């Protein structure tokens, strides 16, 4: 089975490529490297001892995608390619609708023209907006509070409409909560370009001394310590969830699943656990809330457990330990 992995050089895509190759799949990466480094490819090959084909291209290039699908006789697509920075999406909304929504639209046209009818799509807990209840189940109302989240929600709606018209397709919508951590080898990990938006990579860069201190965006939320609570899921658990979803698509109906640990940790919980596992002090200062942030968000992962026989097995200590090993071994990322 040959899988086209769009955005496969990225954080989650690269970890998923490792698991796909280790499970015996052939992997073709299509990536324009707008937010990743070519060095990732050799790291994936080093970890797995297997080769993979890489096309430096854009998922919006329909002719290129069709050429890849045909040339490599791909049987399914894992679609990670996308822009994901919420703050940037507020400033540049058209870039996010073009890259994420139009990109997915073009990909579907290419797949349809090539008779490839299986896709696993990277959705996000951001489609739930402000939680109306917790833990969040898959039938929670959908909304979005920023252009990035709306691009994901619109893609989900397009996929639901498309599936209604083409019921033979197998589509998995996987809603990730907060991915973190890194492969145990320390060879691949999260390597944000510029200032990290997300908590874990920022903490890791404070630990290496690349950043002076962590700004904690608000400690006046209605949580046990006042700081924001999120559901952190180890990126390897997330990758394994993709493998299970793909295998499930081969045998059954389409899926829409939360991929989360089902546990909420606060910002200070993360800081303290990271300090304990790394032995590094993480200086921080309390700043005002970040616009658009919600207080608490964590998943009910029951449906994924029942549908995929999958659970997030790596705990917060493993997340912090693995994330720190990657950052310590690669203080400047892949550069
Ligand atoms: P990432 O930026 O590390 O990886 C995305 C990859 O896609 C990069 O290698 C980038 O170069 C590539 N890419 C972007 N636009 C492209 C295009 N038009 N054509 C070809 N390649 C393109 O991000 P990630 O954290 O690995 O996230 C992967 C997917 O999961 C994204 O769609 C993101 O929206 C989604 N997601 C991420 C998170 C998270 O917190 N990391 C949470 C929920 C959902
Ligand atoms: C986590 C907590 C912050 C940084 C985002 C996107 C979401 C998804 C996952 C793509 C919050 C606090 C953070 C910092 C801080 N991405 N924080 N100081 O906001 O839950 O979700 O990434 O789909 O769409 O919104 O993740 O890591 O940015 O923040 O205090 O420097 O850490 O306030 O409580 P978030 P995050």
Which tokens belong to 303? 């449906």
The question of whether 11 is a catalytic residue gets the answer no
Q: Is 10 left (phi over 0), alpha (psi -120 to 50) or beta?
A: beta
CA–CA distances in Å: residue 155 to residues 104, 141, 142, 147, 149: 7, 16, 13, 12, 10
Contact 316, 269 (CB under 8 A): yes
Contact 296, 223 (CB under 8 A): yes
**Which residue lies with its CA nearest to atom 4 of ligand 2?**
199
Task: State the distance from the centre of ligand 1 to the C-alpha of 224, rounded, in angstroms.
Answer: 32
Bridge partners (DSSP) listed for residue 257: 174
DSSP string, 13-62: HHHHHHHHHHTT-EEEEEE--SSS-THHHHHHHHHHS---EEEE--TT-H
Which residues of the chain form beta strands (DSSP E)?
2-6, 26-31, 53-56, 76-79, 118-124, 170-176, 178-180, 214-217, 229-230, 232-234, 255-259, 265-266, 284-287
Q: What average pLDDT does the chain have?
A: 97
pLDDT in tens, 78-107: 999 999 999 999 999 999 999 999 999 999
**Ligand 1 closest atom vs CA 148:** 34
**Ligand 2 closest atom vs CA 217:** 30
Q: Which residue has the tokens 């996929």?
A: 159
* Residue to substitute in 35, 198, 203 for testing ligand 2 pocket (most ligand atoms within 8 angstroms of CB): 198
* pLDDT given for residue 250 in this prediction: 82
Contact 216, 267 (CB under 8 A): yes
Q: Is 87 exposed, middle or buried (0-12, 13-18, 19+ CB in 10 A)?
A: middle
Mean pLDDT of 301-309: 97
* Residue to substitute in 35, 190, 192, 199 for testing ligand 2 pocket (most ligand atoms within 8 angstroms of CB): 199
Task: State the distance from the centre of ligand 1 to the C-alpha of 288, rounded, in angstroms.
Answer: 28
**Other Cβ atoms closer than 10 A to 23:** 13
Contact 231, 176 (CB under 8 A): no
* pLDDT given for residue 89 in this prediction: 96
Report residues whose beta carbon is within 6 angstroms of any ligand 1 atom. Answer: 6-7, 9-13, 30-36, 58-60, 80-84, 99, 103, 122, 124, 176, 178-179
**Which residue lies with its CA nearest to atom 1 of ligand 1?**
10
Which tokens belong to 199? 């908590």
pLDDT at residue 251 above 90? no
Q: How far is 152 from 148, CA to CA, in rounded Å?
A: 7
Q: How far is 48 from 53, CA to CA, in rounded Å?
A: 14
Residue 7 phi/psi, 5° resolution? 70, 25
Q: Does domain 2-180+233-260 have CATH number 3.40.50.620?
A: no
Q: How far is 33 from 6, CA to CA, in rounded Å?
A: 11
Residue 23 phi/psi, 5° resolution? -90, 0
Residue 253 banded pLDDT, cuts 50, 70, 90: confident
pLDDT at residue 330 above 80? yes
Q: Ligand nearest 227 Cα, by number?
A: 2
Mean pLDDT of 12-29: 98
Bridge partners (DSSP) listed for residue 230: 265
* pLDDT given for residue 79 in this prediction: 98
Statement: the pTM of the whole predicted model exceeds 0.95: yes
* Residue to substitute in 220, 293, 298 for testing ligand 2 pocket (most ligand atoms within 8 angstroms of CB): 293
pLDDT at residue 252 above 80? no
Domain borders along the chain are: 2-180+233-260
Q: Ligand nearest 290 Cα, by number?
A: 2
pLDDT in tens, 179-227: 999 999 999 999 999 999 999 999 999 999 999 999 999 999 999 999 9
pLDDT in tens, 133-167: 999 999 999 999 999 999 999 999 999 999 999 99
- Of 96, 148, 232, 265, the active-site residue reads 148
Task: State the distance from the centre of ligand 2 to the C-alpha of 228, rounded, in angstroms.
Answer: 9
Measured over the CA atoms of residue 259, residue 264, residue 267 and residue 270, the dihedral's sign is negative
Which tokens belong to 232? 């952190």
């Amino acid at each position: 089975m040959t899988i086209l992995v769009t955005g496969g050089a990225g954080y989650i895509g690269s970890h998923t490529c490792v698991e796909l190759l280790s499970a015996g799949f052939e992997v073709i990466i299509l990536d324009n490297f707008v937010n990743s480094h070519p060095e990732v490819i050799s790291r994936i090959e080093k970890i797995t001892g297997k080769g993979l084909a890489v096309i430096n291209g854009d998922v919006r290039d329909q002719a290129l995608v069709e050429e890849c699908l045909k040339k490599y006789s791909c049987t399914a697509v894992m679609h990670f390619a996308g822009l994901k920075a919420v703050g940037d999406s507020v400033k540049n909304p058209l870039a996010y609708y073009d890259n994420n929504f139009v990109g997915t639209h073009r990909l579907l046209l290419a797949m349809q023209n090539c008779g490839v009818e299986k896709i696993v799509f990277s959705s996000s807990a951001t489609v739930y907006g402000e939680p109306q209840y917790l833990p969040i189940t898959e039938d929670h109302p959908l909304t979005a509070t920023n252009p990035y989240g709306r691009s994901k929600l619109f893609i989900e709606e397009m996929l639901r409409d498309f599936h209604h018209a083409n019921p033979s397709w197998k589509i998995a919508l996987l809603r990730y909560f907060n991915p973190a951590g890194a492969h145990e080898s320390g060879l691949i990990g999260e390597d944000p370009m510029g200032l990290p938006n997300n908590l874990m990579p920022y903490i890791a860069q404070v630990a290496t001394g690349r950043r002076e201190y962590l700004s904690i965006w608000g400690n006046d939320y209605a949580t046990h310590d006042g700081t924001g609570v999120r559901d952190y899921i180890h990126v390897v658990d997330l990758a394994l969830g993709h493998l299970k979803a793909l295998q499930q698509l081969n045998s059954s109906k389409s899926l829409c699943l939360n991929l989360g640990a089902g546990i909420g940790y606060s910002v200070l919980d993360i800081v303290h656990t990271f300090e304990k596992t790394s032995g590094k002090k993480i200086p921080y200062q309390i700043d005002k809330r970040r616009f658009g942030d919600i207080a608490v968000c964590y998943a009910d992962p029951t449906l994924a457990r029942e549908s995929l026989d999958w659970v997030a097995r790596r705990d917060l200590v493993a997340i912090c330990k693995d994330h720190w090993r990657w950052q310590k071994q690669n203080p400047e990322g892949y550069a």
